[in-house]
Chain A
Amino acid sequence: MFSRPQPIIVRILEHDQLLEWRPSSADAPAAELIDLLAQDGHHEQPTELVDGSTGQPISKDTAASALKDATVVARVDHTAEALQQLDLFQSQAKDILDFEVWPNSSVLRIELRYPGLARANGLSDGRIFLRGRHQLLMFLPASFPDTPPQLTWLTDIFHPNFVPQRQVWPPGFHWERNRSVLALLAALAETVLGIRARTRGPLQFFRKCPLNPEASVWFRRHRKAMARFAQAAHVPLEQRFGALPLSSVDAQWKLLGRLTGGQPLVFLSDRAWEAIPRMRGHVLGWLIGEQGLWRNVRWFYVDSVFPAISTGFRPKAAVGALIDDSSNSKVLLENCYDGQLMARLRNNALVLSVDQKDQIEGYFVKGYARPQTDFEEPSLAPKIVVRRNNSASLHSEDGSGDATDCERQVEQNPRPTSGVLRPLSQTPEICQYCTVGDTQLNDLSACGSCGSFVHSRCRARLGGCPDTRCPESPLYTGGRGR
């Protein structure tokens, strides 16, 4: 028998407002309500539904008929929002961040591919290497974002304030001033890189002791080399034109707005253009790219937008800043040079200017640019699946074509059934930077000066050898590695 759907009372938690939802049918899923709330402008952020009397989450698939006696509470889904921020960070720094989340969990595993320091694995001489893979767990408490995430460092690290298997926090980073996962990630990157560290000098008796006193001494001793290295390694530029982008490569550019001859020319990558509205309200940003002069006219290419902390480090590749009207922006602007590109959003429109003086009326966006509100949801699908041999894999079940080089080699050369253990008396044949072992298909080779194994691509990323005692290292310490 056909039954008319009953109206359902919905309480909007943030606005303390009551609404009535009339579902399209008795079988309409709760997702319909979420869509309606988004269309109505109640929540710009992701929304979750809970039962007002029990506090239990309501699944998006729950039929309206099952909610007829409940008071539905709609609130911002801060966990989903945090995941969107991670996804946004990843879109701007593809090779720097990876993360995964388990379904129905508030714990994320994060991998930061940033050059930090660590003791070499398996070596007895305690050499310190630049290490490019770091992992941590991020736990989002129920009261997030009122209380900050909890971070547990997992991998080896040589840093005054971070030690493995302990809860950590970027020194000098205040959550209450930057309640954003994006800002926290930027602070973590600065910490790994060594430019955000709290060390203790020989006469500072009253300051809190660093977690790793030895690293504290090392960092103080090599602070100038660390600062130089961090300048170069902070935010890599993925695409570089080297000249006015219109004349450089075969690319499609869409002109938004109009130009006036003689005004600065601005070119945005599509990912930078998409990131700008998504960062609004979360974090300020550094516009990462390149700039140049054509005749006497300045041009800017913005490749990505990197989260900026007002008191943080200005990347060398920054050509400007994404700002707003907050006091944090004023602090950030003090960290900018003259002649920088400034971007801000006004009434959902991107406003560009140089030195906040002349507004630029038109700019180019690379490739096909999607509408600003149309962005992909982060993938929440678990990446770990159980295979038939009961070993975990980082690939999808149907990803037979996605096997890594290592996997293919393993399949071609299956392991012997009885294992072999051998003592490691020499430098292990793994890349000391990314900690991935050799395969026939990659390019691991020994450093000509110190013998440390490193991939050529890792060497290029670092600008030298990862061993800090090697003369070819960007952090060469003159042999005083310990």
Chain B
Amino acid sequence: METNRGRQPIPFRLPLVEEGFERIDASGEISSGQLLTFVSHDVYDFIKTHSIENDPKEVGGVLLGQYCVDNDTRFVIIPTAVACDLGSATPASIDFPPEFWQKVEEIHSAEYPGLLRLGPYHSHPGYGVQPSGTDQSTILASFSHPHHISIIYDPHDDQIGYTCWQNGDLLPACGLFVYRHRRPDDLLKQLMGASSK
């Protein structure tokens, strides 16, 4: 698990001004003045497909990416994610068992060294994109640093949103950016390499 509470964002160009990002859409309304979230369209499509295929059961996983800053604007870029296919799930809950975290550890260290575990994603079939009280007391309690986010997708309303932390408070869910990069492998290398500097 990511435990470095003092993590500093890595200087990186904001995707909105970087020509490699050939297409950027927004899903939902973007809140300014907080951590912005840029999700690869591969991850975005996977979360949606994964959620719809398993409806009405919840699905979830962990988002891997980088915590960045450009001038004073903080943002995360999420090029990949690891889905949880272990443990139990119901229409109102999902369990991330220790075996899943073990699997994440193996994939993370073997394939994506340098990226951060930025937080969980999970589906809320039919009950919106705001985190529930259970979410806050369980999974979000483990991802409560300024660079952590949580993405929730409601397959019934086809709505996606993310929450993040600001001064110790969990902010309401808002929309996120979905990007397509001209050379996603190069971007991944840049993001993995950026953390080791």
A binding-site residues for B, Cβ under 8 Å: 243-255, 258-262, 265, 294-297, 362, 364, 368
Contacts and interface: CB of A to CB of B under 8 A. Distances in A.
A258 B71 CA distance: 23
27 contacts: A243-B71, A243-B72, A246-B73, A247-B73, A248-B32, A250-B32, A250-B33, A251-B32, A252-B31, A253-B31, A254-B29, A254-B30, A255-B177, A258-B24, A258-B25, A259-B21, A260-B21, A260-B22, A261-B17, A261-B21, A261-B24, A262-B18, A294-B71, A296-B17, A297-B17, A362-B25, A364-B30
Given A247-B71, A294-B14, A295-B13, A252 B22 contact: no
A294 B73 CA distance: 11
Contacts of B23: 258-260
Contacts of B26: 254-255
A325 B17 CA distance: 31
A252 B29 contact: yes
Contacts of A249: 32-33
B16 interface: yes
Contacts of A252: 29-32, 174
A457 to B, nearest CB: 27
B32 A259 contact: no
Given A247-B72, A247-B73, A294-B14, A261 B32 contact: no
B161 to A, nearest CB: 12
Nearest to B28: A254
B32 A262 contact: no
B16 A261 contact: yes
Interface in B149-197: 174, 177, 179
Nearest to B22: A260
| B30, B32, B71, B72, most chain A CB atoms within 10 A | B32
Contacts of A254: 26, 29-30
The 5 closest A-B pairs by CB, nearest first: A261-B21, A255-B26, A262-B19, A247-B73, A297-B17
A305 to B, nearest CB: 22
Given A246-B36, A247-B72, A295-B13, A261 B19 contact: yes
Interface string B64-104: 00000011110000000000000000000000000000000
A290 to B, nearest CB: 15
A259 to B, nearest CB: 4
B16 A297 contact: yes
Interface string B2-44: 0000000000011111111111111001111110100000000
B133 to A, nearest CB: 24
A378 B18 CA distance: 44
A245 B25 contact: no
Contacts of A368: 29
Contacts of A297: 16-17
A186 B23 CA distance: 40
Contacts of B19: 260-262
Nearest to A298: B17
Given A243-B71, A250-B32, 5 more contacts: A246-B30, A247-B33, A253-B29, A260-B19, A295-B17
Contacts of B20: 261
A163 to B, nearest CB: 49
Interface in B101-157: none
Contacts of B71: 243-244, 247, 294
Nearest to B29: A252
A358 to B, nearest CB: 13
Nearest to A296: B17
Contacts of A247: 32-33, 71-73
A245 B70 CA distance: 14
B129 to A, nearest CB: 14
